[in-house]
Structure 1
Amino acid sequence: MSGNRRGEPAPEKTSPSGRDALPEEQRRVLRKAIRLEWFSLVFLAVTVTLVALVSGQSQAMKAAWLEDSMSLLPPIAFLVAARMIGKSSDRHHPYGHHRSIGVAHVVSAAALLGMGIFLVVDSLTTLVTVERPSVGLTVVLGHGFWAGWSMIAVMVVTNIPPIFIGRAKMKLAEPLHDKVLYADADMNKANWTSALATVIGVLGIGVGLWWADSVAAILVSISILHDGVKNLRASILGLTDSEARTFDDKAPHPLIDEVERVAREAEWVADAASRVRDEGHVFHVEMFVVPAPGAAVTGARCEELRTALRGVDWKVHDVVIAPVARIPADQAFRGE
């Protein structure tokens, strides 16, 4: 028989805490996103293999290969996090495992940032030391042709599908409020710019502009570095309990104002302010309420308000009502 330390029956759970915290529509979206990420992993594995086979001594192709290799991390991080959030809360994880999404975001962003720095330094070193890459001939069925054409063909063929895969992921990121999926989709959509730079670098070698290859590699590296910095900043802000923001981190989440409006509409509440913590797919809300003069604060009223706030949106997963004499100073001027 389960219970607390005094031997009393364990309190009944008032809200789901694992993947069942998501409504059926979001669970359907999550299942679709998982299938899409598995497809991405298979496609990227094939891409990495093909690019490695034809890269030769091209610095730009080397950078493209490393970028494709790093692109494996966001799908892997997403799939691991998607599995973790399925676990219910327990004594050691009272808030559940939804923060796994934030951890996955940090891991993939840190890897991108580190690889971007490495590639920038490596490509600049190649340019400064005047290392001239050579692209020779390849013999197929007794006919020789410039190996650069095979490099260009691989870059074109392998970088068109990610544009459409990225768009598909982007459509799923918003209804799921998944920042890891959004970051992965953003990278997929932007892959064509890196592919174009790589193609230009290889063509540069073909016409005798040896430096074009290193310059193209630097451009690819800067793209990776930009993705790493942007995503690492967003992921760290999320894990350090900054203001909850939209899935693309472009603005404070509108649910913050919405839950405060609903709280103020309660007949026994004179004023209200919230702290909203982004747990991954869902939000944890601490609602500070100032009771109206003469209004009685009862457990039933707090529970009624808690239920009303959770009904605002599925992302409002867990709510704590805190009656106070006045709004805490750190919340009184939020948004100014």
Structure 2
Amino acid sequence: MTAWIRPIVTPGVEEGWPLAGQPHVRFARVERIAEGRRGEDIAAVDLRRDTSARLTTLRPDLCGLALDRPRIMGILNVTPDSFSDGGLHHGFDQAVAKAMEMAIEADVLDIGGESTRPGAQDVPVEEEIRRTVPVISALRSAGITTPISIDTRKARVAEAALDAGADIVNDVSALTYDPDLARVVAEREVPICLMHAKGTPETMQADPRYGDVLTEVLDSLAARVAFAQGQGIARERIVVDPGIGFGKTKAHNLELLRGLSALHDLGLPVLLGASRKRFIGTIGGSEEALGRMPGSLAVALWGAAQGAQILRVHDVAETAQALRLWMAMARGEGEALP
């Protein structure tokens, strides 16, 4: 049974150690957790040296972006059927215009051509390429230098997107869907985000069950990281994502968010993608995905307070403003985000 360490974070407090090298999020105590076991609270100074290093070391830059503060990944779904914005940016001109608007505030643009909403079916490779690659090419031709992530599970789509100017691969299957994707990432020496999911988009919300969702997600991500490294992907190019809403109930999502800081025990950058998810509407009282922006901001700020380095969001400008205010309070008035 694997035991994991969850830093008990205290944003805005100068005492303690910086979580993953982030000066605005610190911890002095930790909780040791294992499947079905919680509550063992110990002082951070009593941790083994390798454990404390794993929890406190600043993560490597991501495409030139320092990860000493939260970074915003703007979502652009060029699909007709994504759960939140499907069809809004399906046309080429609309997609490029939206991406250029997001690039003003976003640190990364995440472009996807296949919906992974609950119940979604696979999109043929050529169609996924047709939807995404022209948009990436147009952005690079327009002089947009913002790092671009291709949201795909498929090796051929990733190759085409990287050829067009993408920099990162974001795989919601954590290299379980297409066995050739690991080779592409390793050969191109690009970063990859490995996300936890239980089942496929078509089946993942059909009564998902866990004995202990937090430790199971941690164990699964650790295994996928080991697999990626075994395929030649450098550890310093791996990002992990707990997969909020992917094979999880509302209770599972909340448990993962409460324990989010434990993901730093993997020693890797953490991406949080909860924007406009159904549980936000259920709790916040908005059936329509477009009405879930306020709740999405609340979750994004919670993620920042738990040390998540990358916040994947639809509402880029609103999240950027909220983060500036949060950072000003966490760091001190003169140290807000630029």
Shorter-normalised TM-score: what interval? under 0.3
User: Normalized against structure 1, the TM-score is what?
Assistant: 0.20
TM-score of the superposed pair, with normalisation by structure 2: 0.20
Q: If each structure's helix is expressed as a fraction of its own residues, which one has the higher value?
A: 1
Please identify which structure carries the higher strand content: 2
